[in-house]
Amino acid sequence: MWAPDVYEGAPTPVTAFMAVGVKAASFAAFFRTIAVAFGGAPQHWGPVVEALAILSMIVGNLLALPQ
């Protein structure tokens, strides 16, 4: 995995940016995409976010097994 290597070898400000900035930008981009896709229908966001959360947990756990 590249993240632990970056965190170990980088200066503290770069590590802070990688730990917070990239994840915050990804979160904002995700919700911006959902807002554009569903427009004025926020009641439809719930099932989509729920499905993605479940899928994320399943894939994350399955990929963690070999480690």
Residue 48's domain comprises: 2-64
How many structural domains does the chain have? 1
- pTM score > 0.85 for this model? no
For the chain, give the secondary structure using H, E and C.
CHHHHHHHHCCHHHHHHHHHHHHHHHHHHHHHHHHHHHCCCHHHHHHHHHHHHHHHHHHHHHHHCCC
Tens digits of residue pLDDT in 10-48? 898 888 888 898 889 998 998 888 888 877 677 778 888
Above 70 in pLDDT, residue 66?
Answer: yes
What's the length of the chain?
A: 67
Neighbours of 45 (CB within 10 A): 14
> CB of 48 within 8 A of CB of 38?
yes
